[in-house]
């Protein structure tokens, strides 16, 4: 159980790292307000609109691909500093872009920074947080992501109402994109107040520093026990090659991680986030009310992400994902039906259905993959494995951003959203069949889940028990 004297410190650590989500959330949402102006100003085709939105994922994929290797060498904290700097540069470059090429280049730089942060902030929180509240603290990254999205929707709405439409075409979109400087600065400043990951410190032989951090988090008694477990784990680590993730057992962990990463992105939420104003315009919203409708959805995201934070360590990861994905499938069918039957005055009905879908996402497949992906891998492979899984996440993010306008333009809203409903059914099936429950388990205990059934104890120890520590001490 978390001790009272240490709670403020671990919460500070989680908040500081979780604020990386502000950058991710801002970048996810801000383009939804700017893309309409950009499309008209630069006469962008649907495919070019998709490219302007999705190009950031190119940098994101590269960022997460490098994050594990760089953070294992230089530390989680230093690479998170780098991510904040890159994001600030990207915001300024986007605001002062002289054309589409410069804008795309600036967004790719921002994607590189977000890629670093998205992989490392949740890894860092998992390596610092006590098991009993690791889910809630890990949810802070998603909470800040949603706060960033919601705040950005309101920023877009405010900027759009700050001048004429002609002003928006010339200057408004620059202000929208330029506000990204602020989440980058906030993240950069807060990083000065947190320590390096204790597990990374012990891997580098800095045991005393690691113990002091663990002591401040859990008190001296628990810190001694945890230090002993981590040290025993590290002493058996010799091969940190990613080839180890192809071994029986860990191969399954890698598969679950990739599954969680993919379904965090392809179930439809990003289509709403990226193209919210355009979707609402399709059912009659105009005169900037489409921005207001999107802002309402952003507020729903904040409220239900807080609900997820309160439930995740009580209800469990698996149950929330199962309920959430089934509800999302239902709401996607309803959203598609609005477009198919095109009833008069369907705007309010569409808001209700999208709000229901959003609420279901925010208590399930929104925050939980970000929490579980770093949980399920052993210490010596965690940073690299999270990087690989997050590469798939960013790749799926790119696909949604790139192809959603093409799908809506060619297939129509109804079939596009019904396609997302089918994907949610597939997600529910996979959650029920292959995803384990990790609630209230230490990172070392979770590693035991992947022990192959058809391998003897000695062989398993040699191949896979590099991070497994028995719980005899805690008992």
Kindly list the distances between the CA atom of residue 337 and the CA atoms of 113, 236, 283, 289, 416, in Å, as whole numbers in the listed order. Answer: 39, 56, 12, 22, 11
Average pLDDT over residues 103-125: 89
Nearest by Cα to 178 from 145, 152, 143, 199 = 152
Nearest by Cα to 179 from 200, 196, 155 = 155
Average pLDDT over residues 172-197: 92
pLDDT value of residue 372? 86
CB neighbours of 200 closer than 8 A, spacing ≥ 6? 71, 72, 75, 76, 127
pLDDT value of residue 356? 94
Task: Report residue 265 as tokens.
Answer: 């992105």
Which ranges in 55-133 belong to alpha helices (H)? Answer: 56-74, 76-95, 100-128
- pLDDT > 70: what percent of the chain? 88
Residue 116 scores a pLDDT above 70: yes
In angstroms, the CA 227 to CA 279 distance is 52
198-216 pLDDT per residue, tens:
888 888 888 888 888 888 8
470 band by pLDDT with thresholds 50, 70 and 90: very low
Nearest by Cα to 211 from 201, 194, 124, 10 = 201
Contact 93/109 with Cβ under 8 angstroms? yes
pLDDT value of residue 458? 46
State the average pLDDT for the chain. Answer: 82
Contact 263/370 with Cβ under 8 angstroms? no
- DSSP letters, 268-314, are THHHHHHHHHHHHHTTT--TTHHHHHHHHHHHHHHHHHHHHHHHHHH
Give the DSSP H or E segment for 414: helix 413-434
150 band by pLDDT with thresholds 50, 70 and 90: confident
pLDDT value of residue 173? 93
**Domain boundaries 4-467, corresponding CATH code:** 1.20.1250.20
365-415 pLDDT per residue, tens:
988 888 888 888 876 677 778 878 878 887 887 888 778 878 888 888 889
Residue with tokens 């408004």: 172
């Amino acid at each position: 159980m978390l001790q009272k004297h240490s709670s403020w410190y671990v919460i500070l650590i989680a908040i500081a790292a979780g604020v990386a989500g502000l950058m991710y959330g801002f970048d996810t949402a801000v383009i939804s307000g700017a893309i309409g102006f950009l499309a008209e100003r630069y006469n962008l085709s649907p495919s070019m609109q998709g490219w302007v939105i999705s190009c950031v994922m190119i940098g994101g994929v590269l960022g997460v691909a490098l994050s594990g290797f760089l953070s294992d060498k230089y530390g989680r904290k230093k690479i998170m500093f780098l991510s904040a700097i890159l994001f600030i540069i990207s915001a300024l470059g986007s605001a002062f872009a002289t054309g589409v090429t410069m804008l795309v280049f600036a967004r790719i730089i921002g994607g590189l920074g977000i890629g670093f942060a998205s992989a490392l902030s949740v890894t860092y929180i998992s390596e610092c947080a006590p098991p009993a509240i690791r889910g809630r603290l890990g949810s802070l990254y998603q909470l800040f992501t949603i706060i960033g999205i919601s705040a950005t929707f309101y920023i877009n709405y405010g900027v759009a109402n700050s001048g004429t439409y002609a002003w928006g075409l010339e200057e408004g979109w620059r202000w929208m994109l330029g506000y990204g400087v602020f989440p980058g600065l906030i993240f950069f400043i807060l990083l000065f107040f947190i320590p390096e990951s204790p597990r990374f410190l012990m891997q580098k032989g800095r045991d005393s520093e690691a113990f002091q951090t663990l002591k401040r988090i859990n008190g001296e008694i628990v810190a001694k026990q945890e230090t002993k477990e981590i040290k025993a784990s590290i002493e058996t680590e010799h091969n940190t090659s990613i080839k180890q993730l192809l071994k029986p057992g860990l191969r399954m962990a890698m598969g679950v991680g990739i599954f969680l990463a993919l379904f965090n992105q392809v179930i439809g939420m990003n289509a709403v986030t990226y193209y919210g104003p355009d979707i609402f315009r399709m059912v009659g919203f105009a005169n900037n009310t489409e921005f207001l409708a999107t802002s309402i959805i952003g507020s729903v995201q904040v409220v239900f992400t807080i609900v997820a934070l309160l439930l995740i360590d009580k209800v469990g990861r698996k149950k929330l994902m199962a309920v959430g994905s089934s509800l999302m499938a239902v709401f996607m069918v309803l959203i598609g039906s609005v477009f198919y039957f095109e009833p008069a005055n369907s705007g309010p009905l569409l808001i209700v259905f999208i709000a229901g879908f959003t609420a279901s996402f925010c208590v399930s497949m929104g925050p939980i993959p970000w929490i579980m992906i770093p949980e399920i891998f052993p210490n010596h492979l965690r940073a690299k494995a999270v990087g690989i899984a997050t590469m798939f996440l960013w790749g799926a993010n790119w696909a949604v951003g790139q192809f959603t306008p093409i799908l809506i333009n060619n297939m129509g809203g109804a079939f596009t959203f019904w396609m997302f409903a089918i994907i949610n059914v597939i997600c529910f099936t996979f959650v029920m069949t292959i995803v384990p429950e990790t609630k209230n388990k230490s990172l070392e205990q979770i590693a035991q889940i992947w022990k192959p059934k058809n391998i003897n104890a000695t062989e398993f120890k040699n191949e896979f028990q590099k991070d497994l520590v028995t719980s005899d001490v805690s008992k």
